[in-house]
Structure 1
Amino acid sequence: MGIATIVFLCTCGAFATAKYIDGTLESDENWAFLTRFCFRTAGSYHYHFTYSSERCCQNILMYFDTVTQWDAVYESNLNCSAREAVLEQGRNQKIILSPDAPYSGCSIVSSNGTREISCRSVRSFKLSRARWWYIAVSKCDGIQNGLRLDYQMHMFNPGGYWTNEFSADEQGILETDIAFLTAFILLLLWAGIQGSTLYQIGRLHMTFKLFIGTIVLQIASLVFLCIHYGIYGKNGVGVPTLIPIGRIIAAVNEILFLLLLMLLAKGWTVVRGRLTEESQLRLIALMVMYTIAYAIMFIWEAKAFDPAKVIYVYDSPAGYGIVALSFIAFCWFVYAVIVTAKKNPDKQRFYVQFCSVYSLWLLSRFIVVMVSNSYLEDWYREKVVNGINLAVAFAADVAFMIFTRPYGSNFPFHLKPSQVSVDLSESGDPEHPYAPSSPVSGDRSIELFQGKAPFSRSSSENREGVPLPKTDREIQAWSGHVPTHLFRATHAQQDS
């Protein structure tokens, strides 16, 4: 499925509960869920409800997030009256939308020749702790004519710009995203400088270019999310369509970074210039599974997400599917690293460190989601998981920068990008897998890897007029650019 299709499907649904909501509720039932909001230790909400006087009287019900209230009534077999009965008396959890009800703010108005009940008021309260409030509408008079209600609600938490419009579970997300957006921009500058150095020494491989691409995607994702939440802090609505766009970009970034890790785990650009056909098919299968899993998650969230039950995406079947796939990728990654390291003992030190760092990256989501779902309060999960995921992603990128330092002790790219394009097979030189599988005679071997036309065997200089190495010291000095065994072969032929 194309990315554009996924974006369209995602933008058709609601990815977040707006703190300012308006619309029309229509239901054939006499009890229906409206919205939810996580208040801190204090809060307030403004409401304006309008409905036909023939449907009087409807009620607004405010449920706590406890097993004796919301969990007891939602998707239960209780009738309408029983669902109202679980509310605690004296806590003003029921608002009767009637002109006769005190403090309801209701009155009879005429609109287009019809009599309507219009209710407008403000309610404030204090809580002992942060908790979710679930808001429902009911009409339990025994007359089964359903519900029809035009509504506007604006809910507030105490505080200023950074907290007022945000539900308690979202407070801190904007600040976290801005901080990591700044960090990733600085990281991109660092990567650009390091990439320039790699280019100058002829070691700018496709893997590093792919890495820079993942940083750009991460920044783009955070830009979209910061724009939405920045506007959201002013009006409680934001730009909802930016949320799925930002999250889809983040998913593409994660898939590409996983592809990068798998390519390096298989030894591409490190110990081999080309993957076998079998390895390519396995890698494609993993990427396809990841893409399908994310597509299912986004489509499910757009079409089947139930805010009355699910607190955040990883508390859903689709979220658990992504977590399980991350664990499968971890097992695959470790296996690929072990096989590659065994075949290339000279790279074992690099692969031990590489595997240790990125195994944690692959397992981080599994660990974080399991711990947060088991031990963190519902209202605390989303912002904690968001912060940890960004921190882990940033740490993984910094680690990659350290691994690919041109003069680092574990620098993996000792050969030029032109050597990666050579059609290699598993039967090549076992000590130097980049070497051609068929022998190249004479000085042509050096020129082949330098991407130049062969020079005369009798010449003692290359095309640029630089003398070829003749002594062991010169050979050692050149070995950082072209494999030493090739120079030794060339030197031996010159001596003959």
Structure 2
Amino acid sequence: MKHVFLFLLVLSLSSYSWGKWAVGEINTLEDWVFLTRFCFLSDKGTLRFEFEYPVEYGPQNILLYFDTKDQWPAVYKTDKSCIDKVEVAAIERGQRLRLEPRPLTGSTPVPLPTYIDCAYKTINNQNMVVCDDGRYFKSARERWWYIAISRCQEANYTALPVGIKLKYKIHMTNGAVGDYLHREYSADEFYILPIDIAFLIVYVVLCVLTVVCAVLLRNRQLWHTTYKMYMVSVKLWTFYLFLMCIAYGTYGNDGNGDKLQFIKSFARAFEAISIMVFLLMLILVGKGYTITRGKLSNVSTVKISVFMTLYTITYVVIFIWEAIIFDPGLVLYLYESPPGYALIAMRIIGYLWFCYSIFFTLKHYPEKRTFYYPLFVFYTLWFWAGPIVILVASNAIALWSREKTVVGVENFVSFCGHVFFLILTRPSAANKNFPYHVRTTQIGIMENVPHHMSQGEEGSFTPGVAYAVSNPMMGSSSGPDLTNLFVTSRTKSMSEQGEKSETSFNNNYSNGNGSVHNSQPPEYTTFPSPSAPPPVYMELFQARNSIAE
């Protein structure tokens, strides 16, 4: 729990505001500084601002750049001088705004579009320039606009003090008052809230279905650890969507960008954990865990632990990288960084391990091909969908539509992965792909099943496979005893067994030759009929008492 809290705390560090409101104070020796960015709609984008700075730090300019190659990329992170950067912002297009009162008649003429509503005021016994004005944006399409402040030193002018000192409050909107789905959002965030709400509703239904299937599996003593991991992944993703709906819902109401980023950071933590749990579950299923074997070797356990630890560290480094190194002056995708590409590599390694595990599981237990063939085909697409989405988003999707497109695709890919596993494991008579055929409460006695037994027709076993697990009473050198993971809480069937244990014992040994007459096992819980009948629980308890004596 302590590690989960640390993970969430690290993610919260990535909260920085580039949304509707940008409020802050600048005090630097630089002569050109980036303030904020926003994706405005054509004819609907509005910019309201308030600026305040000491008179001795004037004059200053507000510069508005858009996202074409000859604009923002031509000035940001380049070796151009301050004056050269200012010249890129065209006066005739209203990209250069002068933060000082309009000059008096007869003074040096300055083009009209550069003036905004400014005045000299005395604040706390200090002469200040205070500006309060706004602008509308018109363009052929949605555009990212970047706002910078400049105070260039001309060759024949040596102003003191040097640098920029400024307080600012910038309000950026994309719609009329009352337009809840557009006004407060950057154009690249449009429809994220409806997308998240739609998937949240679908995932709530999916959670209900997983619980219904879990109850059926539990009643038949087939509720294995891998299915529990699947349920955890589904519920974590549902909670992630719930937090995202809260984040964007409150943002649409008050436009608080800091609150949005803070809640999104916690939501993405649950998203990352859900992905890692589901990936771990797929690798374990590929190795036959809870399907053809009941425990893992020490080597496999160590390998899986190391892999998942590295995967977790990679996720943490991505969010730390975003909080500390990512430049808000660039429109970057979360995975557009060395840790992001490392995460792609880890996912590909997980896929190769998944393929390797399935290959050897089918080699030893070919009877499970009805389950593993569709599992392999579909989750091959699922594994590769993640890296493909990351690469396409980083290189092919337009910057003004990237975020909403990626959100929709990622939710769809996750939903398909969760739904398909539910279909494969649904406890239905029509499901020929059902993987679980050993009760959670009878793993201990499966040592007596010969390793040449296998599942045949529905309700019977034929030579070929055994549930690979050691007797928990005898110990094993092949790995840690994980059989307790399969012991569910007292189910209805276990309670009935306790109430009728004596009757069942007498009925099973009613014949003189000791033949066993058991009732049919529950549906999908078929067992082999070996040459020597396996002992019942009563015999196991008697054996332990005799040893103790």
The TM-score with structure 2 as length reference comes to 0.80
Q: Deviations over 1:423-461 (max 9, x none)?
A: 979x955733326668x9xxxxxxxx9999x9xxxx997
Task: Show the counterpart of 2:145.
Answer: 133
Task: Show the counterpart of 2:60.
Answer: 58
Q: Deviations over 1:281-328 (max 9, x none)?
A: 111111011100001011111111211124321333332222222222
Whether contact under 8 Å (2:71, 2:89) holds in the other structure is: yes
Distance, in Å, in 1 between the alignment partners of 2:510 and 2:147 is 81
2:504 to 449, 462, 480: 462
Matched AA of 1:221? Y
| 195-204 vs 6-15, greater mean Cα deviation | 6-15
Task: Show the counterpart of 1:494.
Answer: none
Structure 1 vs Structure 2: percent identity of aligned residues? 34
Whether contact under 8 Å (2:293, 2:469) holds in the other structure is: no
SS in 2 for 1:372: helix
Task: Show the counterpart of 2:484.
Answer: none
SS in 2 for 1:96: strand
Whether contact under 8 Å (1:156, 1:165) holds in the other structure is: yes
Q: Deviations over 1:192-234 (max 9, x none)?
A: 1111111111111111112111122112111221111101112
Task: Show the counterpart of 2:433.
Answer: 410
Task: Show the counterpart of 2:394.
Answer: 373
Report how far residue 466 of structure 1 moved. Answer: 6.8
Report how far residue 15 of structure 1 moved. Answer: 4.9
Q: Is 1:106 aligned to 2:150, yes or no? A: no
Q: Is 1:36 aligned to 2:34, yes or no? A: no
Distance, in Å, in 2 between the alignment partners of 1:374 and 1:345 is 42
Q: Is 1:195 aligned to 2:214, yes or no? A: yes
Task: Show the counterpart of 2:243.
Answer: 224
Whether contact under 8 Å (1:428, 1:437) holds in the other structure is: no
Structure 1 residues 203 and 104: CA distance shift in structure 2, 3 A = same
| 332-341 vs 109-118, greater mean Cα deviation | 332-341
Distance, in Å, in 2 between the alignment partners of 1:424 and 1:19 is 65
SS in 1 for 2:529: helix
Distance, in Å, in 2 between the alignment partners of 1:462 and 1:77 is 87
Task: Show the counterpart of 2:307.
Answer: 286
| 100-109 vs 38-47, greater mean Cα deviation | 100-109
SS in 2 for 1:6: helix
> Number of aligned pairs?
476
SS in 1 for 2:186: coil
SS in 2 for 1:485: coil
Task: Show the counterpart of 2:529.
Answer: 485
Whether contact under 8 Å (1:6, 1:299) holds in the other structure is: no
Distance, in Å, in 2 between the alignment partners of 1:45 and 1:14 is 23
1:70 to 66, 69, 72: 72
Report how far residue 131 of structure 1 moved. Answer: 1.1
SS in 1 for 2:127: strand
Distance, in Å, in 1 between the alignment partners of 2:203 and 2:528 is 39
Distance, in Å, in 2 between the alignment partners of 1:171 and 1:347 is 46
Distance, in Å, in 2 between the alignment partners of 1:147 and 1:193 is 63
Distance, in Å, in 2 between the alignment partners of 1:477 and 1:121 is 82
SS in 1 for 2:172: strand
Task: Show the counterpart of 1:150.
Answer: 167
Distance, in Å, in 2 between the alignment partners of 1:37 and 1:254 is 30
1:243 to 264, 268, 271: 264
Distance, in Å, in 2 between the alignment partners of 1:62 and 1:48 is 15
Matched AA of 1:360? L
Distance, in Å, in 2 between the alignment partners of 1:410 and 1:468 is 38
Matched AA of 2:315? Y
Q: Is 1:117 aligned to 2:118, yes or no? A: no
Report how far residue 7 of structure 1 moved. Answer: 2.6
| 345-354 vs 238-247, greater mean Cα deviation | 238-247
| 14-23 vs 34-43, greater mean Cα deviation | 14-23
Matched AA of 2:145? W
Task: Show the counterpart of 2:466.
Answer: 433
Task: Show the counterpart of 2:374.
Answer: 353
Report how far residue 86 of structure 1 moved. Answer: 1.5
SS in 1 for 2:140: coil
SS in 2 for 1:107: strand
Whether contact under 8 Å (1:198, 1:204) holds in the other structure is: yes
SS in 1 for 2:130: strand
For the aligned residues, what is the CA RMSD? 3.1
| 47-56 vs 316-325, greater mean Cα deviation | 316-325
Distance, in Å, in 1 between the alignment partners of 2:509 and 2:18 is 71
SS in 1 for 2:467: coil
Distance, in Å, in 1 between the alignment partners of 2:171 and 2:266 is 25
Matched AA of 1:64? F
Matched AA of 1:158? G
Q: Deviations over 1:105-162 (max 9, x none)?
A: 1101111100100100011121101111111110013447111110001101135111
Whether contact under 8 Å (1:23, 1:152) holds in the other structure is: yes
Task: Show the counterpart of 2:26.
Answer: 25
Report how far residue 347 of structure 1 moved. Answer: 0.5
Whether contact under 8 Å (2:116, 2:133) holds in the other structure is: yes
Q: Is 1:14 aligned to 2:15, yes or no? A: yes
Report how far residue 11 of structure 1 moved. Answer: 2.2
Distance, in Å, in 2 between the alignment partners of 1:261 and 1:95 is 57
Structure 1 residues 155 and 437: CA distance shift in structure 2, 3 A = closer
Matched AA of 1:304? I
Q: Deviations over 1:342-365 (max 9, x none)?
A: 111000121111111112111111
Whether contact under 8 Å (2:29, 2:164) holds in the other structure is: yes
Q: Is 1:337 aligned to 2:358, yes or no? A: yes
SS in 2 for 1:29: coil
Distance, in Å, in 1 between the alignment partners of 2:443 and 2:165 is 67
Structure 2, unpaired ranges of 5+: 104-111, 454-463, 474-486, 488-492, 535-549
SS in 2 for 1:154: strand
Structure 1 residues 91 and 357: CA distance shift in structure 2, 3 A = same
Distance, in Å, in 2 between the alignment partners of 1:383 and 1:322 is 21
Whether contact under 8 Å (2:370, 2:432) holds in the other structure is: no
Report how far residue 490 of structure 1 moved. Answer: 2.7
Whether contact under 8 Å (1:476, 1:484) holds in the other structure is: no
2:228 to 209, 212, 236: 209
Whether contact under 8 Å (2:294, 2:469) holds in the other structure is: no
Matched AA of 2:368? K
- 1:309-348 equivalences under 5 Å are 309-348=330-369
Whether contact under 8 Å (1:99, 1:105) holds in the other structure is: yes
Report how far residue 32 of structure 1 moved. Answer: 0.8
